[in-house]
Amino acid sequence: MQSVFVTGAAGFIGAHVAQALAKHGLRVSGCDLLSASSMLALQDGRLTALIRASGVDVTPLDACDTDALTLALLERQADVVVHLAALPGVRASAERPLTYANANLMGFASVLEACRRAGVRRLLYASSSSVYGQRGGQFAESDRTGPPTSFYAATKMANEAMAAAYKAQMGLTSTGLRFFTVYGPWGRPDMAPYLFAQAIRQGRPIKLYGHGQPRRDFTFIADAVDAVVRLVQQPLQQPLPDVLNIGHSQPVRLLEFVRLLEEALGREAQVEMHRLPPDDVAYTCADDRLLHRVLGGPMQHTPLRQGLARLVDWLDQWDPIPACQPASTC
């Protein structure tokens, strides 16, 4: 039975991936460094609802501790590592660049070295659509990346360069997964789907940057997980591309996104229009043809209307809103 180790196993994508891998009969373990911030309740919830219920063993471990991580990989005889531990978020990276450098650069260097030492046969790691910078059309893996519009994007570009260097110099192969705006139950509270849904539910205004005109290639969490699980299950002797887009090639304008969210919530949004910040991008669109070829067919696709309905259903259970009118007094 294949052994898979997931870093960031209490994170949004990490918890869903670990649960899905376990359900597919793989031997799954992982690590996470739990936060003492407002994220802690979500992390604990993911561990309870997704991880422990699936029998996945998660060790409190900092991925920056190379010796401890190497030992964990050796003890679990890990064949595959799915590295999802990192600091996400564009705007927060401007406020804490050194923290991002430690987590996303030193942490990734530690993971590369631990995988090399432990003889891991496949490394999949989280990159981001942010590496493409400002552009139009479909974003293909063969496109030139950058220039970065945020420090977060720069760390992900650096991760891809570091992975390429380890492959060229030390023979460690890996695949960077360029995720496109993943959303869904147990999602990140700093991202628009969660932020907007909570604000609308609680009668607070939402800020639409770029006057609602930017378009995003939204990817429901179950779809992204489907792609990751199928990549893990590819024969270990079969080489994978250095990078892969994880998205649907179906960008949606933010104004339409808000309309669908209002529909799912049964409430009207209070919208404040703002200019697009310089660290944001106006458009994302994954060219998914290479992923289709690798997987032998398209990854699972959940329409945005259906995905938002499932996000709202989860929020109603996770954070019930008192029944009162109008919404602004709830």
Taking all residues of the chain, what is their mean pLDDT, rounded to a whole number? Answer: 94
Tokens for 277, please give them.
Answer: 């910040």
Residue range 279-300: average pLDDT?
A: 97
pLDDT above 70: percentage of residues in the chain: 96
Q: CA-to-CA distance for 196 and 110, rounded, in angstroms?
A: 36
Active site residue 152: yes
CATH tag, 3-185+219-247+285-301 = 3.40.50.720
Q: Which residue out of 125, 132, 152, 166 is catalytically annotated?
A: 152
- Asked whether the predicted pLDDT for residue 325 surpasses 70, the reply is no
- Asked whether the predicted pLDDT for residue 152 surpasses 60, the reply is yes
- Which pLDDT score, from 0 to 100, does residue 229 have? 98
- Which pLDDT score, from 0 to 100, does residue 41 have? 87
pTM: 0.95
Q: Which residue has the higher pLDDT, 42 or 72?
A: 72
Single-letter residue type at 264: A
Residues contacting residue 268 through CB under 8 Å, at least 6 positions apart: 200, 262
Outline where the chain has alpha helix (H).
12-23, 40-46, 66-75, 90-95, 97-100, 107-118, 151-170, 192-201, 221-232, 254-265, 289-295, 304-318
Residue range 268-279: average pLDDT?
A: 96
Q: Fill in the DSSP letter of residue 215.
A: E
Q: CA-to-CA distance for 69 and 86, rounded, in angstroms?
A: 15
